[in-house]
């Protein structure tokens, strides 16, 4: 049974899932834009631009929502994060701004000019860098490296560059690349492009699986509390379900069942984040900042909890209309068998 002060945390986890599934794919698309190769590199970049251009940067609304929810409902934890992760948060912000701006600058630059090439490189590099840094921040939250000593909070570089942070940064990066490649198989206008993104999805999915497997001994050594929680009876079934759904996604890719691959790839992200959130409970930041000792007043929590559904009644239909209007017109979506 959820306590009142846990409800905003649940809402935040749901928003994090939405951000990972939607914005994660946007970041991954930028990675593939940077790594476009072969005789169809130009067509690959055009497909990527057509896929993300109509909803450019709209998915960051979920990140803004998470930040507002955090500083409103859990101000003590937000204060600690703002101090200890000041540098990586600003690096991620810089990456988001550079990524968004460079995407537009490249679109209006003369084709084949050095300006288009430069802004394309900035777009791809920022898309690669940003999810890695955001993943490192998640690692810092779970690793137990953020501590409060009196009125001070640890803020040195080691807080967000621990082995746990690096591993989770890599997991976030390759999962974003995998999501994007899977999504792009259904955005491709012809079979050749679709096959190229299928291969990229299989490669990035294999690397993600390898990094995830390599993360296990890292967690057991550098974050034993997280490792123990991941082995708890309440979490193990969720982890195994995530593995099964990931295998379904890989198999669907192998057999070119792209809609199944797309749904299961998104489902895998949601399930793994759910497992992480349950393993993290009741901590917002392990080991000192819990939901209970970081929450705002009961009146504030109730106001936020009642306000969120009203906001969602506006936000979710707006996003549905945005996708339907700008991505439902003139698209070439086919699973090609």
Residue range 138-154: average pLDDT? Answer: 89
Q: Closest Cα to residue 172, out of 234, 228, 127?
A: 127
pLDDT band at 32 (very low <50, low <70, confident <90, very high): very high
Residue 265: which H helix or E strand, with range? Answer: helix 258-280
Q: Closest Cα to residue 146, out of 280, 24, 322?
A: 280
pLDDT mean across residues, the chain:
91
Residue-wise pLDDT for 42-85, tens only, equals 899 889 988 887 666 788 999 999 999 999 999 999 999 999 99
Domain boundaries, given as residue ranges, for the chain: 5-325
Find out if CATH 1.20.1630.10 is the number for domain 5-325: yes
Residue-wise pLDDT for 267-310, tens only, equals 999 999 999 999 999 999 999 999 999 999 999 999 999 999 99
Residue range 109-137: average pLDDT? Answer: 91
Our measurement of the distance from residue 336's CA atom to the centroid of its chain's CA atoms, rounded to an integer in Å, reads 29
Helix residue ranges, H only, 35-60: 41-52
Residue-wise pLDDT for 12-27, tens only, equals 999 999 999 988 989 9
Structure tokens at 325: 């209007």
pLDDT band at 184 (very low <50, low <70, confident <90, very high): very high
Helix residue ranges, H only, 144-162: none
Q: Residue 42's pLDDT is what?
A: 87
pLDDT at 221 over 80: yes
Residue-wise pLDDT for 157-170, tens only, equals 999 999 999 999 99
Between helix 7-34 and helix 298-327 the angle, nearest 10°, is: 30
Among positive and negative, which fits the CA dihedral 265, 280, 148, 163?
A: negative
Q: Residue 336's pLDDT is what?
A: 32
Residue-wise pLDDT for 90-102, tens only, equals 999 999 999 999 9
If you count DSSP H runs as helices and E runs as strands, how many of each does the chain have, helices first? 13, 4
| Contact assessment for residue 174 and residue 105, using Cβ atoms and an 8 Å cutoff | no
Our measurement of the distance from residue 213's CA atom to the centroid of its chain's CA atoms, rounded to an integer in Å, reads 19
Greater confidence, 57 or 243? Answer: 243
Rounded (10°) CA dihedral 256, 211, 99, 188: -10
Q: Residue 335's pLDDT is what?
A: 34
Our measurement of the distance from residue 306's CA atom to the centroid of its chain's CA atoms, rounded to an integer in Å, reads 27
**Scanning the structure block, which residue is given the tokens 């009741």?**
282
Percent of the chain clearing pLDDT 70 (strictly above)? 96
Taking the C-alpha atoms of residue 32 and residue 188, their distance in angstroms, rounded to an integer, is: 13
pLDDT at 243 over 70: yes
Structure tokens at 197: 């993104």
Taking the C-alpha atoms of residue 82 and residue 62, their distance in angstroms, rounded to an integer, is: 18
Percent of the chain clearing pLDDT 90 (strictly above)? 74
pLDDT at 174 over 90: yes
Looking at beta carbons, which pairs linking 89-95 to residues 24 or more positions away fall under 8 Å? 89/137, 91/129, 91/133, 92/130, 92/133, 92/134, 92/137, 94/126, 95/126, 95/127, 95/129, 95/130, 95/133
Three-class SS of 95-117: HHHHHHHHHHHHHHCCCCCHHHH
């Amino acid at each position: 049974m959820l306590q009142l002060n846990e409800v905003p945390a649940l809402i935040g986890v749901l928003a994090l899932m939405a951000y990972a599934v939607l914005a994660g794919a946007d970041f991954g698309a930028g990675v593939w834009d940077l790594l476009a190769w072969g005789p169809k590199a130009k067509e690959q970049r055009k497909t990527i631009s057509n896929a993300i251009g109509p909803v450019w940067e709209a998915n960051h609304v979920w990140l803004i929502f998470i930040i507002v929810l955090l500083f409103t409902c859990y101000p003590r934890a937000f204060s600690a994060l703002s101090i200890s992760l000041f540098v990586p948060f600003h690096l991620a912000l810089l990456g988001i701004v550079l990524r968004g701006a460079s995407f537009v600058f490249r679109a209006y630059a003369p084709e084949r000019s050095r300006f288009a090439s430069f802004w394309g490189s900035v777009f791809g590099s920022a898309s690669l860098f940003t999810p890695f840094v955001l993943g490192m921040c998640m690692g810092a939250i779970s690793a137990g490296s953020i501590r409060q000593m009196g009125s001070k909070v640890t803020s040195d570089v080691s807080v967000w560059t621990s082995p746990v942070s690096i591993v989770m940064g890599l997991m976030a990066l390759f999962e974003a690349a995998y999501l994007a490649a899977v999504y792009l198989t259904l955005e491709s206008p012809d079979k050749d492009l679709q096959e190229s993104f299928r291969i990229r999805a299989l490669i990035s999915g294999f690397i993600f699986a390898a990094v995830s497997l390599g993360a296990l001994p890292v967690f057991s050594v550098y974050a034993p509390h997280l490792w123990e929680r991941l082995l708890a009876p309440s979490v193990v079934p969720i982890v195994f379900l995530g593995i099964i759904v990931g295998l379904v996604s890989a198999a669907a890719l192998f057999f070119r069942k792209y809609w199944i691959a797309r749904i299961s790839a998104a489902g895998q992200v949601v399930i793994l984040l759910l497992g992480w959130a349950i393993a993290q409970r009741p901590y917002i930041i392990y080991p000192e900042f819990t939901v209970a000792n970081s929450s705002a007043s009961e009146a504030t929590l109730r106001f936020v909890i009642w306000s969120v559904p009203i906001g969602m009644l506006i936000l979710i239909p707006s996003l549905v209309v945005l996708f339907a209007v700008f991505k439902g017109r003139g698209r070439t979506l086919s699973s090609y068998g």
